């Protein structure tokens, strides 16, 4: 049975119809804009409805159809998703999705290039009657619905091409006949009517005019940058529309000033004009291959009436058990019950800036628990609220939008700048979780997927070594110092010189502490400050022998750790020994400080003194042994080695 093309389809498409799903014949395929990168190839089709023919661009994701010869010259195809936009007075059809109905056919009819003046007689609609349903054709399925957007401007909402592609089967439906008033007569006028609202998922760089209606789900801070072109500032925000399409909008420089204060998280905006650029996937984790750059001509209008059809936020929650196999740096959404919150601690970043970090534990129904690291502002704002809730024995549900997976030790999830936290949110998922937790989930043991190599006790960065391992493993010989913790006993303290005279002057908000030398009558001179002081400070410079079951080593302890080891200020010991000359009491104090066991954090670095390489070990922190956590540590090492 011969196939009939959908009559007058070209005219209808050019008039703006996007629901027609016409059958058309491909008369020609041309590769244009061939570039080095295959992915940037573009194909231009000449499509015909049997009477008129028109050029159409093929969306990049359909390039394979041409490459694999599913679509050839002569193929009869059904357009499923397409857009016709007005580019500089010319109609440009972009085919977003289509199906091949007949792989090859003779040219049907006698099509002529479509002109803007519409002089061709229109075939009667009854032509459609000649298409009878065969196995190949499925009449309009119920799942394929055409719905009209509730937007005030009354635009027509087209299908979401991304979601529907895999399940689409060809369908034929009664043709749309454009009302006569849509036909173009006379010269082309600039279309002054508001642009049609289209779903975010249908946005592409080949549309001239578009508008989207979407809710702001996240808004970034203004960031300043400096590159080859000079200084600049940038901010971005994320949008979500009623079809679940999401996209990021980025503004630079003057555009920042224009829109930064207009944008509020949670509100709905009508946005039009702007250029689409490929999304920068390393910064932008949204499910969209494009992002929008607003320009000074762009319009951003607040929609005052609340549109309930646009969700406030879109999550795709993954169970914690999934994170175990997620790759490092994956961005994902999780929801769980907070079972513990650690205090916020200051952390020195690699660039020397101080930030805050707070670790909490989250568990869910998957039977797994994970550590969540809050950074910076999250520690105070949300972290404190969570801490208070957990302390009052109310374990809150926490939803995390866009957390980043880290595989630093085990798997954990950390916040990034675009992360959003929702405490006890009003989602169905949260209610299910709360119900699970309150009815048994609270008491079920969850195995943590974090800190795999960090059993019991000790802080996250602690590397435990024995004294002999320091030498055996050649610690301190690399470019950077090694930081390790040893559990060791102090076996000897050098007392002939245990402190030095330090400069008490302040440099900024810090004491100078450089060594001062006595000048004449009780005045102390600092070379650094180039000043004399009447008094000097005494600070520890202590040589200590430490010992564990594997061996012994000499370490140096400065002021704070020295005071910890000696149990009194250096000045007190100095005056006892040199001013009061009470050697007996001095010896007694020192003797009492021996044979105590400590957790010593050491900085180990090889240094050269007069062409001689020496590994220098400095005590940076002295802690009493915590027997509970130490027992846990030992038990864990025991169990692991069994």
Binding site for another protein (CB under 8 A): 627-628, 631-632, 635, 638, 642
Q: Minimal distance in Å, beta carbon 625 to another protein?
A: 13
Of 254 and 628, nearer to another protein (C-beta) is 628
Separation in Å, CA 574 to CA 443, 568, 582:
57, 11, 10
In whole angstroms, how close is the CB of 447 to another protein at the nearest point? 16
The least CB distance from residue 440 to another protein, in Å, is: 17
* Residue whose CB is less far from another protein, 356 or 632: 632
Sign of the CA dihedral running 290, 295, 297, 301: positive
Nearer to another protein, 519 or 626 (CB): 626
Task: Classify residue 44 as exposed, middle or buried by CB count within 10 Å of its CB (0-12, 13-18, 19+).
Answer: middle
Select 593 or 632, whichever has its Cβ closest to another protein: 632
CB 271 within 8 A of CB 239: yes
CA–CA dist 640, 642 (Å, integer):
6
Q: Are strands 537-548 and 482-493 parallel, antiparallel or unpaired?
A: antiparallel
Q: Please, which residue, 69 or 628, has the CB nearer to another protein?
A: 628
593-596 contacts: CB < 8 A, separation 24 or more? 593/490, 593/493, 593/565, 593/566, 593/567, 594/490, 594/491, 594/492, 594/493, 595/489, 595/490, 595/491, 596/489, 596/490
CB of 245 to another protein, least distance (A): 50
Query: Where do we find the tokens 């940038």?
Result: 234
Q: Which residues contact 89 (CB under 8 A, 6 or more apart)?
A: 188
> d(Cα 549, Cα 529) in Å, to the nearest integer?
46
Report which of 109, 103, 81 is spatially closest to residue 6, judged by C-alpha positions.
Answer: 109
CB-wise, 222 or 628, nearer to another protein? 628
Q: Which helix (H) or strand (E) holds 321?
A: helix 320-323
Minimal distance in Å, beta carbon 443 to another protein? 12
Question: Are 71 and 100 contacting, i.e. CB atoms less than 8 angstroms apart?
Answer: yes
Q: How far is the CB of 631 from another protein (least distance, A)?
A: 4
> Is the Cβ of residue 115 or residue 628 nearer to another protein in the bound state?
628
> How many CA atoms lie less than 13 Å away from 196 in the CB half-sphere?
20
**Is the CB of residue 24 less than 8 Å from the CB of residue 49?**
yes
CB nearer to another protein: pick between 220 and 456: 456
Q: CB of 409: closest distance to another protein in angstroms?
A: 22
Using CA atoms, how far residue 562 sits from 362, 498, 513, 620, in Å, is: 40, 9, 15, 9
Scored b (16 or more CB within 10 A) or e, 558-574 reads bbebbbbbbeebbeebb
Which of 416, 634 has the CB closer to another protein?
634
Closest distance of CB 642 from another protein, Å: 7
Q: 526, 534 in Cβ contact below 8 A?
A: no
Please give the radius of gyration of the chain, using alpha carbons only, rounded to the nearest integer. 36
Query: Which residue, 609 or 627, has its beta carbon nearer to another protein?
Result: 627
State the sign of the Cα–Cα–Cα–Cα dihedral 111, 114, 120, 126. Answer: positive
**Of 262 and 628, which CB lies nearer to another protein in the complex structure?**
628
Least gap, CB of 442 to another protein (angstroms):
16
Nearest approach in angstroms of CB 459 to another protein is 19
* Helix extents (H) in 492-607: 559-566, 570-574, 583-592
In angstroms, what is the minimal distance from the CB of 637 to another protein?
12
């Amino acid at each position: 049975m011969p196939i009939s093309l959908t009559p007058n389809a070209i005219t209808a498409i050019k008039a703006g119809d996007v629901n027609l799903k016409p059958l058309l014949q491909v008369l020609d395929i041309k590769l244009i804009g061939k570039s080095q990168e295959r992915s940037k190839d573009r194909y231009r089709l000449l499509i015909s409805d049997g009477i008129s023919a028109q050029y159409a661009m093929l969306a990049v994701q359909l390039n394979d159809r041409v490459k694999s010869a599913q679509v050839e010259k002569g193929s009869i195809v059904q357009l499923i998703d397409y857009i016709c936009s007005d580019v500089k007075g010319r109609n440009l059809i972009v085919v977003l999705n289509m199906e091949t109905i007949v792989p090859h056919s003779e040219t049907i009819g006698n099509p002529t290039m479509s002109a803007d003046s519409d002089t061709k007689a229109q075939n009667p609609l009854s032509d459609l009657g000649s298409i009878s349903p065969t196995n190949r054709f499925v009449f309009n399925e119920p799942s394929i619905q055409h719905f009209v957007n509730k937007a005030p401007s009354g635009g027509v909402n087209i299908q979401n091409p991304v979601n529907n592609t895999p399940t689409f089967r060809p369908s034929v439906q009664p043709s749309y006949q454009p009302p006569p008033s849509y036909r173009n007569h006379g010269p082309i006028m600039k279309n002054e009517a508001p642009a049609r609202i289209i779903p975010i998922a249908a946005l592409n760089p080949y549309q001239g005019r578009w508008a989207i209606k979407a809710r702001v789900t996240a808004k970034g801070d203004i960031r300043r940058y400096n590159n080859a072109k000079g200084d600049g500032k940038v901010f971005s925000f994320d949008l979500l529309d009623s079809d679940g399409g999401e996209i990021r909008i980025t503004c630079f420089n003057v555009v920042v000033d224009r829109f930064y204060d207009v944008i509020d998280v949670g509100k709905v905006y009508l946005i039009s004009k702007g250029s689409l650029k490929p999304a920068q996937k390393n910064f932008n984790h949204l499910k969209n291959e494009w992002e929008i750059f607003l320009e000074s001509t762009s319009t951003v209008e607040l929609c005052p009436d609340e549109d309930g059809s646009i969700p406030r936020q879109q999550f795709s929650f993954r169970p914690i058990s999934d994170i175990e196999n997620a790759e490092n740096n994956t961005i994902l959404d999780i929801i769980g019950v907070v079972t513990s919150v650690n205090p916020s601690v200051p952390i020195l970043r690699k660039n020397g800036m101080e930030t805050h970090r707070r670790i909490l534990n989250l568990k869910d129904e998957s039977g797994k628990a994970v550590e969540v690291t809050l950074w910076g502002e999250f520690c105070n704002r949300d972290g404190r609220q969570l801490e208070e809730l957990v302390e009052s024995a109310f374990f809150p549900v926490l939803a995390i939008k866009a957390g980043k997976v880290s595989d630093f030790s085990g798997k954990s999830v950390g916040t990034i700048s675009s992360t959003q936290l929702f405490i006890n949110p009003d989602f169905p998922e949260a209610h299910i979780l709360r119900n699970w937790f309150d009815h048994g989930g609270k008491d079920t043991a969850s195995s943590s997927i974090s800190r795999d190599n960090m059993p019991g006790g000790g802080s996250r960065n602690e590397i435990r070594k024995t004294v002999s391992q320091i030498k055996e493993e050649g610690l301190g010989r690399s470019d950077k110092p090694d930081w390790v913790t040893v559990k060791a006993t102090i076996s000897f303290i050098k007392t002939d010189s245990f402190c030095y005279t330090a400069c008490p002057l302040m440099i900024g908000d810090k004491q100078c502490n450089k060594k001062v030398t006595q000048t004449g009558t009780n005045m102390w001179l600092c070379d650094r400050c180039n000043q004399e002081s009447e008094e000097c400070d005494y600070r520890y410079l202590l040589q200590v022998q430490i010992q564990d079951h594997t061996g012994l080593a000499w370490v140096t302890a400065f002021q704070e750790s020295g005071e910890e080891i000696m149990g009194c200020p250096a000045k007190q010991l100095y005056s006892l020994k040199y001013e009061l000359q009470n050697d007996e009491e001095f010896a007694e104090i020192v003797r009492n400080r021996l044979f105590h066991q400590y957790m010593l954090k050491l900085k180990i670095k090889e240094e050269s003194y007069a062409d001689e390489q020496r590994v220098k070990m400095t005590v940076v922190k002295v802690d009493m042994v915590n027997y509970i956590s130490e027992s846990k540590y030992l038990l864990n090492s025991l169990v692991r080695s069994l």
